[in-house]
Structure 1
């Protein structure tokens, strides 16, 4: 029998997807160097069961073409890998301290850079040996800044939620 998630978990899932899409669209419209489109994914990883957390990343990637940009669905693997990395790290070290959010952000940045590099090279003209260059020179420094900011915002949102804030 198909088990349906409780309404509050479905609401959190929808809110996390909306957060990813809204912030990603704003960052894209303002041409910010950081995409900030995984705040909801990390928040969902902290607040939702694994299946719904992964759904946040997948749905964000699927709907991102209409809101953020036409190549966005190609990065579905990045969104899902970000969520899975966050789920694993949250289980191993937790997400209750600021320093843990920093470790999570740095770790997610490395994984996202590794997963995104071949896709970025393919989108820009074909998969080549440039993937290593994309990871180290292009993707990692910006990705590190992006994912650190994302992790700190997600940590603040989760902390506020768990403390009973609005």
Structure 2
């Protein structure tokens, strides 16, 4: 089964699909509930965490879940999904699997050099002449204290 999906937003992140979600599902009934297993596959449009370049990344999510005939509360307590009547609704399970397992961060390539922290140029495309020894503003107060202590020792 393949399904085109709209982007999914959660926790400040966004999953943007560049191809339909492929769902390969197998199920079996054991008298009390259904065991559902399979693989979710698709491709996401992502931004490199180092250089912010857009790239596409495929993914496969293997899953094995349980559906029981119960209320939402009972199913939550049993860490299962509920089903009612004759149909298994897979939407919530698929959304949960995507949010919990799909890649959110990635690199455009394993050896991405990122952006220069001074001028912002893409170091994958060109080198700049900026000094790479950038002081961390979080430690500026400690540096001032160290200078004061050094000055007192010299007096």
Q: TM-score, length-normalised on structure 1?
A: 0.27
TM-score by length of 2: 0.28
Structure with max Cα Rg: 2
The structure whose RCO (Cα within 8 Å, separation 6+) is larger is 1
**Relative to total residues, which structure has the larger strand share, 1 or 2?**
2
Q: Which has the higher helix share?
A: 1
